[in-house]
Structure 1
Amino acid sequence: MGSGVRARRWLNGIVVATFLAGGVPASMAQAQTGQVTAFRVAVAESVAEHDEIATFYRARNFEPLWTGAGPEHLARREALLEAIGTARTHGLPAGRYDIPKLIAGMRAARSDQARGALDVELSRVFVQFAHDLESGVLTPGRVLGDIKREPVRRHAAELLSALETGAPRAVLRGLAPRTQEYARLMRAKMELERALARGGWGAEVGGGTLSPGDSGERVVALRNRLIAMGYLERTARATYDDRVGTAVRLFQADHGLEADGVAGQSTLDALNVSAEARLQSVVVAMERERWLSSAGDMGARHIKVNLTEFSARIYDDEKVTFETRAVIGATSPDRRTPEFSDEMDHMVINPSWYVPRSIIRNEYLPQLQRNPYAVSHLQIIDSRGRVVNRARGFGSNFPYSMRQPPGPNNALGKVKFMFPNKYNIYLHDTPAKHLFAHDVRAYSHGCIRLNEPFEFAYTLLAAQEADPEGFFHARLRTGAEARVNLETPVPVHLIYRTAYTQAKGNVQYRADIYGRDGRIWAALEDAGVVLGVGES
């Protein structure tokens, strides 16, 4: 049986059932059935494969939303065409919405049947565009398993109902993320498109390190690229002078490099990244912002860890109130820190470290099988909480847990910050302080280590303690493990942005340390996203 026949029977059945339920004679019901319009039948046929859209049309008795003769229908059509005309501005796959096809359909829709099919098609395109703009083009977990986000997509009937009752242009304008970050990323995208329209940033700078006092063609190439990027005023000088050195330091700061004013290999590598590649990073960041913002408000107070930046920050009302360096998971596939959001509800002062099973299995058990007294700083605990006698040795069956008691050399340091999650990720102190001196800080098994954990704790406790520092150290001095609950849980967002903005200053760029953004860009390209050149 074809979908059209099924749709007609379904729609006719609704009418018949309605009349019979009201006690109307069957003959009248049959007469009413015969009056079902071609428009409604066409709508019923067209929504057969779109359950959510069908829910909306059933609730409105299959009346038109877009193709009626009234001014409100015209306003919706015009607003939709205007909105999807901005798709590339938002880094969306414009081909998904096919404006020429829609316009051709509007011109050709002269019969009731054609108008019914067109009405559903306009609704389908609107819902697709709304989902893409509000929640993202991609489903994150299908691109990369380490991205644990599930963007919130509104039900099609809810979106269509908002359009039915609201001002069309206002409804469509309200779909994009309303965050300052998204607005600034859009501006950065436009600036990069203009740079590409001008031919990019010029020739790459070849060779090795350039230092203050150098001169020659390579310095000219460095100077010209810094000018094109906006870090240096126009000059004809061919010497690496103070102005070039200042520009290099600014560039280094914006790219997470040591701002020493010397153009070493890391600086030259970052400097030679093309405007096109930077534009890809910005478009990916916009997609990521859609994923994040679809879940709702970040929280008046929240914690954000940008993995590519190796930093952790506490925000209060969008302002950074504390920040510190961080160490993240190493780059091997089994150690990379995942991306997700959760709520921090307590900290543990003088924590024990309970060794994850993966570390026991992959690292410690092979050592214990060779020498049962290895890793002696760890206790081996049975299911009843008793310390196991190591003299008996260990085989492949290891039904025990491992624990490092509180102490100065504990792997978690002197405090950990818990936002309980199934990935066993948390923030913590570390005795390995030397790692924070590195520019690239990817060394952990996945958890986030903080350079200034005490100060991080004071900032969190300030919301509930008159003397947060005194409160913290009173418990620290006991040496005993102590749980401290946060009276108001704090949202934690582990994010990954190779391009991000700040309220003042230039766009910040970081290396794609886990290769995630490259995968996302490839998926966006597959979905039909293309880079615009000078479209703004």
Structure 2
Amino acid sequence: MSKGKAPAPGKLFKAGLFALALGGFAISSTPATAQVTAFKQSLAEAASSAPAVAAFYRKNGFDAIWTGSDDASKLRRKALFRALEDAPVHGLPDQTDRIAELMAQLKAVRTTRDLGEAEAALSKAFVEYARDMKTGLLVPSRIDDGMVRKKAELEADVLLAGLKDSQPSAFMRSLVPDSAQYRSLMREKLRLEQIATNGGWGRSVPNGKYEPGDQGAGVIALRNRLIAMGFLERSASATYDAALANAVLDFQASHGLEQDGVAGEGTIKEVNVTARERLKSIIVAMERERWLAPERGTRHVLVNQTDFSAKIVDDGEITFQTRSVIGKNTGDRRSPEFSDVMEHMVINPSWYVPRSIITKEYLPKLRANPNAVSHLQITDNRGRVVNRGSVDFSQYTARSFPFAMKQPPSTRNALGLVKFMFPNKYNIYLHDTPEKHLFSREVRAFSHGCIRLHQPFEFAYALLAKQTEDPEAFFQRILKSGRETKVDLKQHVPVHIIYRTAFVPNKGPAEFRRDVYGRDAKVWAALERAGVALPSVQG
């Protein structure tokens, strides 16, 4: 948005314009009937472009809530303008021009038509602000087809009725996401803004590999950068000593890197990310936090794709955590972002091969060799196993292939020995895997989209602990039977599959992760197009 066209909002407050008499024209508490009728007609006309706003006024008898001369109207105006002024603090677009336009419109009121138009304009500005603050500025699915999260719908008439029936400042505060994570992100945003404004973290570190015992300008630059970031106490040492190695370890841990205490290419690349870029990640994370419904569940599962982790959270505390593998960064394999509810687990599962995998990967192999992928059973529409030798696979296309494929329970099963189900149209779930070696990788994007767990048995024990005295014995007894067994969760558990390159743990400083799918870059670009801007910074 353009700057410098109007006085700063703070100056408008000091000028006392919130107590303005609307250009000398306001509806009194006992107005003339003709004046009221003209006002209502003007308001109805002006509000008609926003049906839900118009619906509120119809229910409200077209009474003014902003432009009256009563104290309640004045308090609402003041609360709205203060909220608009503070929007950039929350990573929303600067509203300086919008405030000036609304102020000018109020000051220029001379007729009942002017007043009705001003009333409608204030309501529309409020509703837009409330929606942006409460549920986010952007629509996720318009940015990336893997961001399928549904935002809560906020009806304008409900918002306006809530404001009318509440203390205005308190209602504006209630629109701000009420989560510990959002508050922590806001604090980190303010901290990074100050760091960036003051020049950032100093000189970048030359590319290379630095390890214990090394000396030279690169080591000194690394030392100074980590000191500026808060990972190392002030030191004059020019050697890659134990203190610097420990600082590198701490940095690697907080950035999702392999923790070896050696500053190699990947670590140096992350060390050199500027405060300005980290600030973008924080603002994107704040927007993403607004997309999540405030009711996360007293107990819930949180999968952060960029962190390659899956956690069980109870009353805000992480009670279990394990590594995860997410979808490969290609085509339609990227794991989607959404929330659902886990209802059951299946021990000794069969793998029912998704149709997309059958037609894209296995049908070409079967055409070339009917005995290909022999670990999978081919079944007809009644579930009966088909004799491969009696089928001419070359006659089928991806559309006409009439069979299903499945892999019976076994230690070699693609789903491993347990899967955790939250039925959804994306066919995504959490599961075990026989490919344990993948969990040692730093970047773990290898699946077809589902989330693979490093410690699935322990994950199951933690879930079952709420409904059985000895969850491990219960689980192992079913496992040893070898039979495919569905186990319902008596307490269904919300699952939130999120994508955060920036987050703040309950304890410790903010952590950052790489943008593995490039989604945050798209979100930031969309925020910029919507008017979000960084302050004038140097870092």
Length-normalised TM-score, structure 2: 0.91
Partner of 2:60: 60
Confirm whether residue 329 of structure 1 aligns to residue 327 of structure 2: yes
Structure 1 residue 34, shift from structure 2 partner: 6.2
- In structure 2, distance between residues paired with 1:510 and 1:46: 47
Q: 1:35: Cα distance to partner?
A: 6.4
2:71 corresponds to 1:109: no
1:265 maps onto 2:268 in alignment: no
Q: Could you tell me which amino acid in structure 2 is paired with residue 441 of structure 1?
A: R
**Counterpart residue number, 1:429:** 432
Paired amino acid for 1:163: L
Question: Structure 1 residue 340: deviation in Å?
Answer: 0.5
Whichever residue aligns with residue 342 of structure 1, its letter is D
Deviates more, 1:95-104 or 1:152-161: 95-104
- Measured after TM superposition, the shift of residue 333 of structure 1 is 2.1
Cα 1:151–1:171 change in 2 (3 A) is same
Find the aligned partners of 2:506 and 2:415 in 1 and give their Cα distance. Answer: 34
Change (3 A) 1:509 1:290: same
What corresponds to 1:479 in structure 2? Answer: 482
Query: Conserved in 1, the CA contact under 8 Å of 2:213 and 2:239?
Result: yes
Aligned-residue offset at 1:236: 2.8
Partners in 2 of 1:75 and 1:33 — Cα distance?
A: 26
Counterpart position of 1:404: 407
Give distance in 2, aligned partners of 1:386 and 1:35: 79
Q: Report the AA paired with residue 407 of structure 2.
A: Q
Matches of 1:192 and 1:355 in 2, distance apart? 47
Q: Which amino acid aligns with 1:143?
A: I
What letter is aligned with 1:338? P
From 460, 469, 472, the equivalent of 1:457 is 460
> How many Å apart are 1:178 and its aligned residue?
0.3
The residue matched to 2:393 in structure 1 has which SS? coil
1:379 corresponds to: 377
Deviates more, 1:392-401 or 1:274-283: 392-401
Structure 1: any 5+ residue segments left out of the alignment? 1-31
Deviation at 1:202, TM superposition (A): 1.5
1:233: how far off?
2.2
State the SS of the aligned residue for 1:262: coil
Partner amino acid, structure 2, of 1:409: R
Distance 1:521 1:142 in 2: 13
Paired with 1:264 and 1:296, the residues of 2 have a C-alpha distance of 40
Question: How far 1:41 moved relative to its partner?
Answer: 2.4
> Residue type of the partner of 2:393?
F
Q: Is the 8 A contact 2:185 2:282 kept in 1?
A: yes
| Distance in 1 (alpha carbons) for counterparts of 2:475 and 2:365 | 37
Shift of 1:180: 0.2
Map 1:257-336 onto structure 2 (within 5 A): 257-292=257-292, 295-336=293-334
- Measure the CA separation in 2 of the matches of 1:51 and 1:83: 24
Task: Report the 3-state secondary structure (helix = DSSP H, G, I; strand = E; otherwise coil) of the residue aligned with 2:204.
Answer: coil
Are the aligned partners of 1:190 and 1:534 in contact in 2 as well (CA < 8 Å)? no
Correspondence list, 1:505-516, <5 A: 505-516=508-519
Contact persistence 2:276–2:537 (CA under 8 A): no
Would you identify which runs of 4 or more consecutive aligned residues in structure 1 move more than 4 Å? 32-36
User: Per-residue CA shift, 1:463-500, capped at 9, x if unaligned?
Assistant: 11111111111111111100000011110010000001
Counterparts in 2 of 1:253 and 1:114: CA distance versus 1, 3 Å: same
CA distance in 2, matches of 1:239, 1:488: 55
User: Hey, what does 1:28 align to over in structure 2?
Assistant: none
Q: Distance in 1 between matches of 2:44 and 2:371?
A: 74
Q: Distance in 1 between matches of 2:469 and 2:311?
A: 22
Per-residue deviation at 1:353?
0.4
- Which piece of structure 1 moves more, 213-222 or 323-332? 213-222
Q: CA RMSD in A?
A: 1.6
Matched, 1:500 2:498: no
Q: Once the 2 structures are TM-superposed, how far is the Cα of residue 304 of structure 1 from its aligned partner?
A: 0.6
> Post-superposition shift, 1:42?
2.0
Paired residue type of 1:354: Y
The alignment status of 1:51 with 2:51, answered yes or no, reads yes
* Cα distance change on mapping 1:296 and 1:469 into 2, 3 Å: same
Report matched runs for 1:208-219 at 5 Å.
208-219=208-219
The runs of 5 or more residues in structure 2 that have no matched partner are: 1-31
Give the Å deviation of 1:39. Answer: 2.0
Identity of aligned pairs, percent? Answer: 54
Partners of 1:408 and 1:96 in 2: CA distance: 62
In structure 1, what is the Cα distance between the partners aligned to 2:424 and 2:114? 52
Q: TM-score, normalised by structure 1?
A: 0.91
Q: How far apart are the structure 1 equivalents of 2:249 and 2:536?
A: 29
